[in-house]
Amino acid sequence: MEVAQLSVSFAGNNVVEQMEFGLGRGEILGIVGESGSGKTVSCRALTGLLPSSATASGRLSFDGKTYDLSDPKALEDLRGGRISMIFQDPMSALDPLMRIRRQFALRGLDEAGAITALAEVGFADPSSILTRYPHQLSGGQCQRIMIACAMISQPRLLIADEPTTALDVTIQAGILALLRERARQTGMSILFITHDLGVVSEFCDRVLVMQRGKVEEIGRTADVLSAPRAAYTQSMIAAIPTEANRGQRLPTLKDLEAGRAVAALPAAPRIERKHTPVLSLRNISVDYMSPDCSRFRVVDDISLDLHANEILGIVGESGSGKSTLAKAAIGLVSPSAGEICINGSPMDWHRASRADRRQMQYIFQDPRGALDPRAISCRRCASLWTCTVSARAPSAIVWHQRRCCAQGWSPRIICAARAICRAGSANAPRSPARWPCRHRS
């Protein structure tokens, strides 16, 4: 594949400018860059999946045939067959009214084939997954289903838009091994969009770095990561947290360009564990109902304390109950057993007042589902947005976007800003490592 002079604009504002790159048979090319740099938009342009408000230009040469990227209909014979795409938001890519069995059937796969496909992406009990709806699965499970669906057509080119961000490290390693094996055995080429430079170093043959719609540099992965030429690439690598810079403020691009020392972090706040915890969970259990009306336990007898100024991380494989536990703490899921205490007082979320609910805020795993599609993005968190996201002030393009128009990681930033605006004594962020880029995380 060869891409020449690819440009994309929205309402006259260029988001991708004169992008050019090639991709060989069986090659894996990683595309990295900050949120809004044009990674997803450029890949959607290659499949004719840009919204009607976008204008694209350029040429795509694929298997010896040239396509005009300004004509989405010209790409219809490629999309879904020779070119397949794993979307960034799996919950939006799966039909919420269909069971997983039906999702595979519409893609031409019978039940036996669907079970095999689900087993390949790490499901221990694929038969039970086929009977469920997407909302009955975790974000990581939906992501794995989308990966399995994308592989059905045995594409010549697979575009993977952050396919492993919702997965735990063990499942992620298995998925990456599966994709690499397919690439080596069938000659399938992969465009791999990610923010994780660690994954890029292990998985990709070459890497392309984007910033503000332009290609900063492209080359062999080992060469780019060991000796980056572009200042932006250097800043990305310098911002990777390591044991050596633990507890220190990470440098930004502006720090490197100005040649100034990185300002020291303020002293960490003291955590008084002798005081009453802000949040206490005592013997929390949560049961869900399966399609055959039987109940199964997803959270089993968990207790924990969260004190003022403390950050508690909850980790585990997809489907292990992390989100369910957090939702139970904030009253979005009713526990089957146990007690929830806020500042030492038992909390019955069924009778909670508005003031009680404002004490805790939740950053959802699916930001697009958490935003009103008819509302302007930042209307309710204007002052905080201006103060917090100073690395890129809210331009008119972002400020007036509705949820359906926001690109890339913008919805997640908006959800985080809204939660902090309303924050009381506790916040429950979901998957905080899945942020747009290390400079603003």
> What's residue 422's pLDDT?
60
Tell me the pLDDT of the chain (441 aa) as tens digits: 999 999 999 888 889 999 999 999 999 999 999 888 889 999 999 988 888 888 999 999 998 899 999 988 888 888 888 899 988 877 778 888 999 999 999 888 899 999 999 998 888 888 989 999 988 888 788 888 988 988 888 899 999 998 887 777 888 888 888 889 889 988 999 999 998 888 899 999 999 999 989 999 999 999 999 999 998 898 888 888 888 777 778 888 888 777 777 777 787 788 888 889 999 999 999 998 877 778 888 899 999 999 988 999 998 887 788 889 999 998 889 899 999 998 888 988 888 888 888 788 888 877 666 666 655 544 545 544 444 443 444 443 444 444 444 455 566 677 777 677 665 444 555 554 443 444 444
Residue 64: what pLDDT?
Answer: 86
Domains detected in the chain: 2-238 (3.40.50.300), 269-352 (3.40.50.300), 354-441 (no CATH)
d(CA 423, CA 416): 10
Say how far apart CA 202 and CA 180 lie, in whole Å: 11
Quick one: angle between helices 111-120 and 139-150, nearest 10? Answer: 120
Q: What tokens does 401 get? A: 């976007």
pTM of the predicted model over 0.85: no
Which of these, 416, 433, 423, 425, lies nearest to 306 by C-alpha position? 425
Cβ neighbours for 240, distance < 8 A, ≥ 6 positions apart: 197, 198, 438
pLDDT of residue 403: 44
49/47 Cα distance (integer angstroms): 5
